[in-house]
């Protein structure tokens, strides 16, 4: 893992990705071989780019695409939860409702698909030469829990923590059900190639409540994958970010991996360095699974 981090930052400092740009928006999905699925992380959303500009959003799939030399269809959607992904819910992460974006334009047109999973299924059924699928989903499930508990118990951190702890098992149960739907649908298309799931990293590894929730979320992915025999490869973003954050007391905000707010705090979205590390984590996991 340490070699992975060093390699990632060496590539960035040497300018290896200096010419990296977001995927060609004119690319027809049928001409691509790599399908990226997920939320704002895969989308490369940067809330400080105003007005919003798709051509300036660089997500980890862009790094994976360039490294593997595979053309990219990025179907990710900001604010996506596991429920909105598979159509079992219409509740997006607050402030990031992807519904308008699906109408005005994502990186790929959904062509009538009602949700991201339906698009992915259609894509895999009609593209016989797909070489890779990556996916990240679930952090926004926890985000909605946090937002709801904060609203219900405004100004009372103890009550907020108690609310989150009490409701977490239900959120994780729903997440497990949704993952089973998603993985079953992807494999049900007949696609037998690699699917890499990028698990969730923490924002502060010194926060036991946050670490506990993220660890539990990641464990659900592993459990569903193993129980269903879906042959999903897990890319371990959790430990990749933890390694970089360790010299900073576990605070990812101090590492340069997250975008900085004007007041010095951090946004939840990664910088280019953060996205590059995530991309390297995916590529490393894919390479490791190939030699097993």
**pLDDT reading at 15 higher than 80:** no
Residues in the chain: 292
> What does the pLDDT look like over 155-211, one tens digit per residue?
999 999 999 999 999 999 999 999 999 999 999 999 999 999 999 999 999 999 999
> What does the pLDDT look like over 64-120, one tens digit per residue?
999 999 999 999 999 999 999 999 999 999 989 888 887 777 999 998 899 999 999
- The CATH class given to the 2-290 domain equals alpha beta
Tokens at residue 76, please?
A: 């990710």
Work out the pLDDT band at 24, boundaries 50, 70, 90: very low
Tell me the helix, strand and coil percentages in the chain, rounded to 5: 55, 10, 35
In this structure, how many other beta carbons lie within 10 angstroms of the beta carbon of residue 111?
10
Sign of the four-CA dihedral 175, 105, 119, 238: negative
In this structure, how many other beta carbons lie within 10 angstroms of the beta carbon of residue 98?
23
- Domain boundaries, given as residue ranges, for the chain: 2-290
In this structure, how many other beta carbons lie within 10 angstroms of the beta carbon of residue 155?
7
pTM of the model: 0.91
- Over range 239-250, report the average pLDDT: 98
Distance CA 276, CA 172 (A): 29
């Amino acid at each position: 893992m340490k070699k992975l981090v060093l390699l990632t930052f060496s590539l960035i400092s040497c300018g290896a990705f200096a010419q990296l740009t977001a995927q060609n928006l004119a690319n027809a999905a049928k001409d691509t071989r790599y399908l990226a699925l997920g939320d704002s992380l895969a989308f490369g959303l940067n809330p400080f780019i105003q007005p919003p500009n798709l051509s300036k959003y660089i997500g980890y799939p862009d790094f994976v695409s360039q490294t593997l030399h595979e053309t990219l269809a990025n179907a990710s959607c900001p604010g996506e939860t596991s429920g909105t992904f598979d159509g079992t819910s219409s509740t997006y992460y607050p402030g990031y409702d992807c519904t308008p974006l699906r109408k005005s334009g994502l990186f790929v047109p959904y062509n009538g698909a009602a949700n991201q999973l339906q698009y992915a299924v259609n894509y895999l059924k009609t593209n016989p030469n797909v070489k890779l699928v990556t996916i990240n989903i679930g952090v926004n499930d926890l985000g909605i829990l946090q937002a709801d508990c904060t609203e219900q118990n405004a100004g009372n951190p103890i009550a907020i923590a108690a609310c989150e702890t009490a409701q977490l098992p239900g959120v994780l149960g729903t997440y497990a059900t949704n993952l089973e739907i998603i993985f079953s649908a992807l494999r049900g298309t007949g696609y037998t190639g690699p699917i890499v799931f990028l698990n969730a990293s923490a924002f502060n590894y010194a926060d036991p409540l946050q670490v506990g929730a993220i660890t539990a979320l990641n464990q659900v992915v592993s459990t569903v994958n193993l129980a269903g025999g879906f042959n999903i490869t897990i890319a371990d973003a959790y430990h990749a970010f933890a390694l970089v954050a360790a010299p900073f007391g576990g605070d990812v905000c101090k590492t340069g991996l997250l975008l900085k707010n004007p007041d010095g705090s951090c946004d939840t979205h990664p910088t280019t360095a953060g996205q590059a590390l995530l991309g390297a984590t995916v590529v490393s996991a894919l390479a490791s699974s190939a030699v097993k």
